[in-house]
Amino acid sequence: MYDKAKIWVEGGAGGNGCISFRREAHVPRGGPDGGDGGHGADVVLVCDASKRDLGALKGSRHFRAQRGRNGEGSNRAGARGEELSIPVPPGTQATSVDGTVVDLVEAGQRAVVAHGGRGGHGNKRFTTSTRQSPRFAENGTKGEADWIELQLKLLADVGLVGLPNAGKSSLLSRLTRATPKVADYPFTTLSPALGTIEGEDRQAIVADIPGLIEGAAEGAGLGHEFLAHVERCAMLVHLVDLAPIEGDPVGDYETVRGELSAHGAGLELLPELVLLSKRDLLVPADVEAAVAEWSERLGESVLGVLAVSSATGEGLEELRQRILAELPQLQPALAPAGEVGGEFEAEHRVYRPAGEGGYRVEREEDGAFRIFGRGVELLFERHDTRNEEALAYLEQRLAEIGVLSALSKAGFEPGDDVRVGEHEFELHPW
């Protein structure tokens, strides 16, 4: 089972605006008619119920959305790029390029992980009463791009935890219709398995979490790879082998509890039902004594202590009823980690960091002035500073938003070098 993937996502670049003028013979005063460039497409994760893991993303690691088309004359706008959708299974969690946490839990849910760039305005947009024939247009901006990591966390109500060979797979196969691998020798499950307990008025999804060993939270064995799957569970059923091949039941229990705590996601705080497995290997009197001893030892820190046998079926019906009885009280804990409610967020909701429109001016060691600020950097990214009309427009915008005033306060003199992002030029304000 592939429950992790790292992929490169890149929104499409916006199309460039067009510089164009009407040339028809019958239009003696033809003016600018350059159209806008189309917006670049977004990269979107789409929750697909037919997907079971992230294995499909292992071979294709780079996902680039389509760029927007350039604008054309006659006020023709460029086409928008076609959105790139990446299907992922329910339970997928990721962080988008802009830092937004994405949590997809229901089929059809969508989340943009890399926004496309904005299309540039054509020269028609820059026509004013004093600028009637603008010979410049905007460039489209680049789309967001970066590596992102996806992680699958199973959507289960109940997580079965315990050391390898505690009997989790056997129990799951008897409680539900799941068919995990079961054997009469010590082994550990290599991937989580899901099953469903059917009640009269509800269901409970049970996940067999692969066996934990000492040091799993630090990377020992396979258990550390699956601890994240427990995070969505509303409760734990902790299996303890009453007759382990080696070790002792109390030590086994403490080992697993220690690994849950070391994982660092509050797993040790989940409500827990302790299950003493393989009761068929002990005489009834010893089983009753073991249940009493464990109940006294753990007290109210657990939901209860039961003894079962997957081989004979003893105690399984009591376990089913106990799980179904406890879950309604714990249902609020099933809310997903991300911002997901009854209605999904709009497809194009954009999260912007605070202060994006701000700027600051600093004088560098060689005497040049550098302007910092994402808004100002975007302004220069969208215009060709080699075009004199475009540069004059940029100077006008810098004056309107107060940047020229800030430069003056910092000691700027006309003709000094100014740097914005990768751009460097001499500024001669009028």
Q: Does domain 1-152 have CATH number 2.70.210.12?
A: yes
- pLDDT given at position 18: 95
Taking residues 10-31, report their average pLDDT.
Answer: 85
User: Tens of pLDDT along 144-196?
Assistant: 999 999 988 777 788 888 887 778 888 888 888 766 544 444 444 445 677 88
Q: Is the per-residue pLDDT at 7 higher than 90?
A: yes
User: Tens of pLDDT along 33-84?
Assistant: 999 999 999 999 999 988 877 888 877 789 999 999 999 998 999 999 999 9
Structure tokens at 158: 């109940």
Q: Does domain 158-334 have CATH number 3.40.50.300?
A: yes
Q: Band of the pLDDT at 207, cuts 50, 70, 90?
A: confident
- pLDDT given at position 334: 37
Compare 215 and 171 and report the one with higher pLDDT.
Answer: 171
DSSP conformation class of 247: S
Q: Band of the pLDDT at 238, cuts 50, 70, 90?
A: very high
Q: Is the per-residue pLDDT at 28 higher than 70?
A: no
- Rounded Cα–Cα distance for residues 305 and 238 (Å): 10
Structure tokens at 299: 């007290």
Q: Is the per-residue pLDDT at 341 higher than 70?
A: no
Q: What is the percentage of the chain residues whose pLDDT exceeds 90?
A: 36
- pLDDT given at position 34: 93
Quick one: angle between helices 316-330 and 168-175, nearest 10? Answer: 90
Compare 183 and 281 and report the one with higher pLDDT.
Answer: 281
User: Tens of pLDDT along 298-333?
Assistant: 999 999 999 999 889 999 999 999 998 887 555 443
Q: Please, what's the largest Cα pairwise distance for the chain?
A: 107
- Rounded to the nearest integer, the mean pLDDT of the chain is 82
- pLDDT given at position 35: 94
Say which range, 2-11, 119-128, 336-345, 403-412, has the weakest mean pLDDT: 336-345
- pLDDT given at position 1: 53
E strand map for 199-325: 203-208, 235-241, 272-277, 304-307
Domain boundaries, the chain: 1-152, 158-334, 360-426
Strand partners, 112: 44
Q: Band of the pLDDT at 430, cuts 50, 70, 90?
A: low
Contacts of 247 (CB under 8 A, 6+ apart): none
- pLDDT given at position 12: 96
What are the Cα distances from residue 340, in Å, to 91, 96, 151, 334, 346? 12, 15, 17, 12, 11
- Rounded Cα–Cα distance for residues 353 and 107 (Å): 29
Q: Is the per-residue pLDDT at 350 higher than 80?
A: no
Q: Band of the pLDDT at 226, cuts 50, 70, 90?
A: low
- pLDDT given at position 352: 41
- pLDDT given at position 219: 43
Q: Is the per-residue pLDDT at 115 higher than 90?
A: yes
Q: Does domain 360-426 have CATH number 3.30.300.350?
A: yes
- pLDDT given at position 185: 42
- pLDDT given at position 330: 52
Q: Band of the pLDDT at 340, cuts 50, 70, 90?
A: very low
Taking residues 101-111, report their average pLDDT.
Answer: 89
**pTM recorded for the entire structure:** 0.66
Q: Are 12 and 117 in contact (CB under 8 A)?
A: yes
- Rounded Cα–Cα distance for residues 205 and 270 (Å): 16
